[in-house]
Copies of this chain bind each other. A is one copy, B any other.
Amino acid sequence: MQGDSLEVYFATSNKHKVEEAKKVLGTVGITVKHFPFVHREIRSDSLEEIAREAATAAFKQCRQPVFVEDTGLFIDSLNGFPGTFSAWTLKKIGLEGILKLMQGVNNRSAYFETYIAYKRDTSHISTFSGKCSGQISLEGRGSEGFGYDPLFVPDGHDQTFAESITLKNKLSHRYKSLLEFSKTLTSRR
């Protein structure tokens, strides 16, 4: 970081996430650079713990201020399934599998949550979270976004995230966590 310009690396293998972070952090003058990072996450039911460990591992490679994020979909009636194993579960059973599990279930409440872990230097690490509550829809709808977006209707709305990317960008767990993160970064200027 030099003078007023802030620069952070985003360690991820997902370019879509980098684009989103560039947009959100760019508006407050923070430059996001992509640090290509493939990492085997630890096995845990805590997004925060997973993100902290990954950020520590990323910093060891990157040696620059770097952040990672971890996101999960937590469905109340399924005891938080698929949770921290959301990406893996989607690969295995797909959206169709989730809809099958929800057949005949009245309580369709769920939330998305993101944890960002930021490793600034060898001695400092901090985390920022964002959450978005909603309902699992009765069927998949929409083609925008990715992952579980076609099944997720945020509270107070009728469309799924995949039906309205504008809605998603304003309300999403990831957006909220990036916002929290940006506030902390800019307060240090």
Contact = CB atoms under 8 A, between A and B. Distances in A.
A126 to B, nearest CB: 23
Name, among A43, A85, A89, the residue most crowded by chain B CB atoms within 10 Å (CB to CB): A43
A97 B92 contact: no
Interface string A54-88: 00000000000000000000000011111101001
Interface residues of A, number: 21
A78 B93 contact: yes
A100 B81 CA distance: 15
Contacts of A43: 40-43
Given A40-B42, A43-B40, A79 B92 contact: yes
Contact of A93 (B40, B42, B79, B88): B79
Contacts of A13: none
Interface of A: 40-44, 78-83, 85, 88-89, 91-93, 97, 100-101, 103
Given A40-B42, A79-B92, A85-B85, 14 more contacts: A41-B43, A42-B42, A42-B43, A43-B43, A78-B97, A79-B91, A80-B92, A81-B89, A81-B97, A93-B101, A97-B101, A100-B100, A100-B101, A100-B103
